[in-house]
Amino acid sequence: MLRSLYSGISGLKNFQTKLDVVSNNIANVNTYGFKKSRITFKDAISQTIATATEGETGGRGGTNAIQVGLGSEVASIDTVHTEGSIQTTGRILDLAISGGDSYFVVSDGDQLYYTRAGNFYFDEEGYLVNADGYRVQGYDPDGNRIDIQVDFETQDVAGFSISPTGIFYIQNEAGDVQELATFVLARFNNPGGMLKVGGNLFVESQNSGEPIFGTGGGAYGTINSGKLEMSNVDLTEEFTEMIVAQRAFQSNARIITTSDEILQELVNLKR
């Protein structure tokens, strides 16, 4: 059977995967805190027809190996953790991290999750949660990690604010300001190693390294209240990649049809 058939098939599969990645990026162009993905390829194994030979002293020179490639494979599908554009919302509990590579930390009670989507809300008990009800993590004034909570029933709360370093302040009717908590932020040695679990959430993996917890400022970046980080998807780039993938898919399909025509000619030799 012609090797070109299987090379063409591998190309079709790979560029179909590329289209899947591109389409997911485009689908999330308006998703807060979304980090786009990219796909890279590598050549598959090569069949060696003749090995390399060593030259002879004073005689013939050496020859290179003769190899035929057998298609391509997916090398990686990477998550690109560049910062997205910042959109102003004017809502105090909409938070965006700028100038840093850290993540907000939320918890479902059993596991910690990490996100760049800072659209947070209060639940009925006064806990600060994300859209899925996961509680936002913070440090109390003593440095203990807690679920950030405002007790609206017992505390005199007239308003609240969040500083660029992530300190959550509440203000009473008399105008007195009290520090409630400080947002916990997390950084990773290899952010690309984190796993996406849906809902704009990431979890650590064996290759991401353990989270390095801290607060706003320095490499962790500043927290901007009243703003949200948009998706880092560039539609111009994605549509270009879609065209490239489409043309490459068509080219690989043409390889298969051409190989089929050659096989048909071989079959027709015996009439």
Report pLDDT for 271: 67
Q: Kindly state the tokens that stand for 26.
A: 């485009």
Q: Kindly state the tokens that stand for 25.
A: 């990026």
E runs forming strands in 7-62: 37-43, 46-50
Report pLDDT for 106: 98
The 3-state DSSP class for residue 10 equals: helix
The 3-state DSSP class for residue 138 equals: strand
Nearest-CA neighbor of 134 among 166, 104, 98?
A: 104
Question: How far is residue 158's CA from residue 171's CA, in Å, rounded to a whole number?
Answer: 6
Asked whether 26 and 233 are in contact (CB, 8 A), the reply is: yes
Question: How far is residue 204's CA from residue 114's CA, in Å, rounded to a whole number?
Answer: 8
The 3-state DSSP class for residue 251 equals: helix
Classify strands 46-50 and 66-69 as parallel, antiparallel or unpaired.
antiparallel
Q: Kindly state the tokens that stand for 219.
A: 């490499």
For residue 222, with 0-12 CB atoms within 10 Å meaning exposed, 13-18 middle and 19 or more buried, which class applies?
middle
Chain mean position to CA 146? 27
- Distance in angstroms between the alpha carbons of the first and the last residue of the chain: 20
Report pLDDT for 60: 82
Report pLDDT for 229: 97
Nearest-CA neighbor of 141 among 182, 106, 184?
A: 182
pLDDT tens, the chain, 271 aa long:
578 888 999 999 999 999 999 999 999 999 999 999 999 999 998 889 999 988 887 778 888 999 998 899 999 999 999 999 999 999 999 999 999 999 999 999 999 999 999 999 999 999 999 999 999 999 999 999 999 999 888 888 889 999 999 999 999 888 889 999 999 999 999 999 999 999 999 999 999 999 999 999 999 999 999 999 999 999 999 999 999 999 999 999 998 998 888 888 888 887 6
Neighbours of 60 (CB within 10 A): 8
Which 8-state DSSP code applies to residue 203?
A: E
